[in-house]
């Protein structure tokens, strides 16, 4: 009999519910009926993807070093973001790359240590307008470190998981800060979507996902290094050619950054790597245009954008495979079924 871990199930419900609530809230930001139908359809396939990505296992033991590493990543990113005035994507990418390099040279360090540093960097990239005091980010970092540590065996290898936990940790702490009247005004970006801009961001998303996958898997750089190095490279392009993207440079960086999380997905989670990552990149680019301005400034919002796209592709693929399997079985049944009348029954 399979043992059900209540604590782990609660984590999966919380993380999955947070992703689905993101789509439910987005209804208020989409005025057209066609857009709302598209979001509803995407929510359905995301739910199917989550249903088909059930993981067995148990709630992992808390590792004391995870909250501390997450806090280190948060503090380092805050220094780069606020003192050196780098963009949030560049600051988080630099800390993530540093974490990936440190895990390769420090004795006893593992790749998952770089992952928790990267997650802490997402929280450190939170806009100063989200909280009135930076001390709230310390609480969010510690909460993320604990949540990631005990749930590290759930949805292993699914791109966007780290960022989603970071975003939900930030939002949870902001709810407490709001209750205590310590929340900041938040970031409001008024960006009018357009068809050409959507196509451009979709292309950016595809490039970000494929570039990260190539560096992390094909070049064996690791997921954290692949995402952080590719994203930092894009930021360098934006800095060197400021007129290339104009006032939409931040949105381009966000779309690429979010798509790089899809590229972090383990190959075992993908049936057709190139096709899946291309589809994820397109979805992430479009969602970045629709939801990016609404969740701007929240650390980990890129992961919260990428995770449902990965699940959506998994849900679509599973349903296509199930339909094809049923059709093949139906054809086999028709062939095996003897015709009525005129036929001779085989001897027993």
Residues 148-163 pLDDT 10s: 898 887 788 889 889 9
Q: Say if 302 falls within a structural domain.
A: yes
Cβ neighbours, 10 Å, residue 93: 30
What's the half-sphere exposure (Cβ side, CA atoms, 13 Å) at 24? 7
Cβ-based neighbours of 196, under 8 Å, separated by 6 or more: none
Q: Say if 342 falls within a structural domain.
A: no
- The residue range of the domain holding 37 is 6-332
Q: Is 102 exposed, middle or buried (0-12, 13-18, 19+ CB in 10 A)?
A: middle
Q: Say if 1 falls within a structural domain.
A: no
Number of domains in the chain: 1
Q: Is the dihedral of CA 152, 11, 155, 69 positive or negative?
A: negative
Predicted TM-score (pTM) of this structure:
0.82
Q: Say if 341 falls within a structural domain.
A: no
Pair 201, 288: CB distance under 8 Å: yes
For the stretch 11-27, pLDDT in tens is: 555 555 555 555 555 54
Q: What is the pLDDT of residue 297?
A: 82
Residue 74 pLDDT more than 90?
A: yes
Residue 136 pLDDT more than 90?
A: yes
Phi-psi region of 157 (alpha: psi -120 to 50; beta: other; left: phi over 0): left
Give the pLDDT band of residue 214 (cuts 50, 70, 90).
very high
Q: Say if 85 falls within a structural domain.
A: yes
Q: Say if 47 falls within a structural domain.
A: yes
Q: Say if 265 falls within a structural domain.
A: yes
Alpha-carbon span 254 to 289, nearest angstrom: 10
């Amino acid at each position: 009999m399979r043992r059900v871990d209540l604590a782990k199930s609660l984590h999966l419900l919380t993380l999955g519910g947070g992703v689905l609530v993101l789509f439910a809230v987005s209804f208020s930001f989409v005025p057209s009926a066609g857009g709302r139908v598209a979001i509803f359809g995407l929510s359905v396939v995301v739910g199917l993807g989550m249903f088909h990505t059930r993981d067995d296992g148990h709630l992992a033991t808390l590792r004391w070093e995870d909250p501390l590493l997450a806090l280190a990543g948060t503090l380092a990113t805050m220094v780069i973001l606020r003192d050196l005035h780098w963009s949030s994507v560049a600051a988080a990418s630099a800390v993530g790359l540093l974490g990936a390099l440190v895990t390769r040279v420090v004795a006893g360090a593992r790749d998952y240590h770089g992952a928790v540093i990267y997650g802490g960097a997402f929280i450190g990239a939170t806009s100063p307008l989200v909280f009135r005091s930076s001390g709230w980010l310390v609480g969010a970092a510690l909460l993320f470190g604990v949540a990631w540590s005990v749930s590290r065996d759930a949805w292993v290898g699914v791109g966007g998981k780290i960022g989603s936990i970071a975003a939900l940790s930030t939002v949870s702490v902001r709810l407490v800060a709001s209750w205590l009247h310590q929340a900041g005004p938040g970031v409001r970006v008024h960006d009018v979507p357009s068809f050409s801009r959507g196509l451009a961001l979709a292309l950016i998303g595809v490039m970000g996902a494929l570039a990260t996958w190539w560096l992390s898997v094909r070049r064996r750089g690791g997921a954290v290094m692949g995402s952080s190095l590719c994203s930092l490279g894009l930021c360098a392009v934006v800095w060197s050619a400021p007129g290339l993207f104009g006032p939409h440079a931040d949105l381009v960086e966000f779309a690429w950054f979010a798509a790089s999380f899809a590229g972090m997905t383990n190959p075992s989670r993908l049936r057709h790597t190139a096709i899946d990552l291309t589809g994820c990149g397109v979805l992430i680019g479009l969602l970045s245009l629709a939801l990016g301005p609404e969740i701007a400034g929240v650390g980990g919002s890129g992961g919260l954008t990428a995770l449902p796209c990965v699940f959506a592709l998994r849900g679509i693929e599973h349903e296509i495979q199930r339909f094809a399997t049923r059709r093949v079985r139906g054809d086999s049944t028709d062939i095996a079924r003897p015709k009525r009348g005129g036929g001779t029954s085989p001897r027993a």
